[in-house]
């Protein structure tokens, strides 16, 4: 594999630093623009407004090219970037913590994604928007953010092990 522009030792520190700086930039832009992915879909379906939805599409495209740029700069740190394009979709994902197949990870993303979408519609905004609103002083958004963090810890501590066992029982693991 090519070594890229940065060595793996430098990339271990450079990639998180650049990620942090990009996160600060994206947070600033989300705050200034009123970005909300759920609101973008809502505005498009109800009013055919595409301003917020174009921000969502831009975020996806920029994320892909940013990840591609990181891979180009330091391929040793992201050695499995093109794995999904060159392998069997039912084989375990290399380097993944649970050793499940991509189909299992899609199931694990789709079901909670649907539930998060439902909660966000009822709440009136996506997690990014709620985080921005919490930083602006909204108590409702701050409680949502705290609940999201506590829920993540509970899931990682107690529930994720059961989910992995369940996925392996259905033959979606190693």
pLDDT tens-digit readout, 112-162: 888 888 888 788 788 888 999 999 999 999 999 999 899 888 888 887 778
pLDDT for the residue 116 = 84
pLDDT for the residue 76 = 65
pTM over 0.85: no
Q: Is 111 left (phi over 0), alpha (psi -120 to 50) or beta?
A: alpha
pLDDT for the residue 139 = 93
How is the chain split among helix, strand and coil, in percent rounded to 5? 75, 0, 25
pLDDT for the residue 143 = 94
pLDDT for the residue 119 = 85
pLDDT for the residue 94 = 65
Residue 27: Cβ within 10 Å count: 15
pLDDT for the residue 77 = 60
Q: Which of 5, 20, 142 is nearest to 75 (CA)?
A: 5
pLDDT for the residue 12 = 78
pLDDT for the residue 2 = 56
pLDDT for the residue 56 = 85
pLDDT for the residue 6 = 73
pLDDT for the residue 21 = 94
Q: Which residues of the chain have pLDDT under 70?
A: 1-4, 75-99, 173-174
Both tokens of 156, joined, read 């990682």
pLDDT for the residue 20 = 93
Q: What is the mean pLDDT of the chain?
A: 81
82, containing H or E segment: none
CA torsion sign for 132, 138, 142, 145 is negative
């Amino acid at each position: 594999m090519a070594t890229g522009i940065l060595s793996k030792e430098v990339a271990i520190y450079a990639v998180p630093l650049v990620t942090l700086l990009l996160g600060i930039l994206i947070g600033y832009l989300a705050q200034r623009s009123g970005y909300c992915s759920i609101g973008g879909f809502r505005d498009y379906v109800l009013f055919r407004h595409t301003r917020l939805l174009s921000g969502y599409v831009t975020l996806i495209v920029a994320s892909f090219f940013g990840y591609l740029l990181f891979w180009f700069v330091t391929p040793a740190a992201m050695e499995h970037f093109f794995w999904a394009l060159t392998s069997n979709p039912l084989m375990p994902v290399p380097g993944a913590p649970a050793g499940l197949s991509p189909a299992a990870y899609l199931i694990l993303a789709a079901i909670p994604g649907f539930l998060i979408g439902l909660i966000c519609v009822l709440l009136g905004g996506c997690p990014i928007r709620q985080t921005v609103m919490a930083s602006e002083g909204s108590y409702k958004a701050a409680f949502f953010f705290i609940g999201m963090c506590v829920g993540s810890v509970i899931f990682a501590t107690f529930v994720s092990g059961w989910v992995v066992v369940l996925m392996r029982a259905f033959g979606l693991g190693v």
